[in-house]
Amino acid sequence: MTVAVFDRVEVDPLAPAPRGTWSAPGVQVRRRRGPHVAHPGTLCTARFCAQRHGDSLTVEHDFTPGELSDELAVLLTEQLGGILRGQADFELVFTGVVRSTVDGGLPAWVRFYRNSLTALESGAAAFAPVHRRAAELVTGRRLLDLGSCFGFFPLRLSRLGFDVTASDLSAPTMDLLARVSARLHRPVRTLACDAARVPMPDNAADTVTALHLLEHLPAATGDAVLAEALRLARDRVVLAVPFEEQPQACYGHIRRFDIAELARLGERARELHPGVRVTVSEHHGGWLVLDLG
């Protein structure tokens, strides 16, 4: 659900930080201890107190280690949407909540990953139906996932015994995934690269997936990613997108999809790869499945 692009906002997700606090240029996050006290001039919500002075944002929260998961994205959007200035603020505050809740960089992220995977794999998370559907659509044993972000789907498929490669433009995100993957004993190869220019040979994977990636990209770039996925896949390409009335800017969404736009992408796939079988469907968003065999 979230998009971790740590290198773009120039932040190391594993950098040392004092206990209970975390900061980056323009943002400071700290965990509240004790009861909430109202602050004049502060936006106070059920879980956060946020205050902005010019370009500096301070956020206080009361999350516990057991509550850290990808569902934090929804709470940030709902409760701090009016004070966060775009995706950069969103990602920095998200990172700050994780890091200020558990001491130590890797321990904090491992706890976040464990909680998130438990919610996703049990079906409790809002995004769980998307992962379940995608897992059902994967064919063969070799999977390449484009735009993996935190890499929850690659980790899920690794647990199921697939040979998995995760890729993302953000090198720090892929480094974090590699470290967490080892700690969770769910082996995943990681690759930091542009989804439109993946340094792998033709037919490198049986299935190539891009789950909630294209909404972050301009149409021309999305078409380039589609062409690259068709080059890399031996059997199947699986694309999933959200259906939104307006793209969620805090998540970095810049493009709106519907069934008609997915059908257009399917026609583009036929132009690039004559004979490809195209399936467009709706299930907690939109799906485009391209069969090459």
Q: Please report, to the nearest 10 degrees, the dihedral formed by the alpha carbons of residues 138, 143, 146, 147 taken in order.
A: 90
pLDDT given at position 9: 55
Task: Say what the pTM is.
Answer: 0.93
Specify the DSSP class assigned to residue 150. Answer: T
Residues paired with 165 in a beta bridge: 144, 189
The per-residue pLDDT string of the chain (293 residues; one tens digit each, 9 = 90 and over) reads: 555 555 555 678 999 999 999 999 999 999 998 888 777 788 999 999 999 998 899 999 999 999 999 999 999 999 998 899 888 899 999 999 999 999 999 999 999 999 999 999 999 999 999 999 999 999 999 999 999 999 999 999 999 999 999 999 999 999 999 999 999 999 999 999 999 999 999 999 999 999 999 999 999 999 999 999 999 999 999 999 999 999 988 888 999 999 999 999 999 999 999 999 999 999 999 999 999 97
| Residue 139 neighbours by CB distance under 10 Å | 16
- Outline where DSSP puts E strands in 193-272: 205-211, 233-241
Give CA–CA dist 278/280, Å, rounded. Answer: 7
CA distance 231 to 119: 34
Residue spans of the domains in the chain: they are 21-104, 127-291
Cβ count near 19 (within 10 Å): 10
Is 127-291 a domain of CATH 3.40.50.150?
A: yes
Phi, psi of 282 (to 5 degrees): -125, 130
For 275, left (φ over 0), alpha (ψ -120 to 50), or beta?
A: left
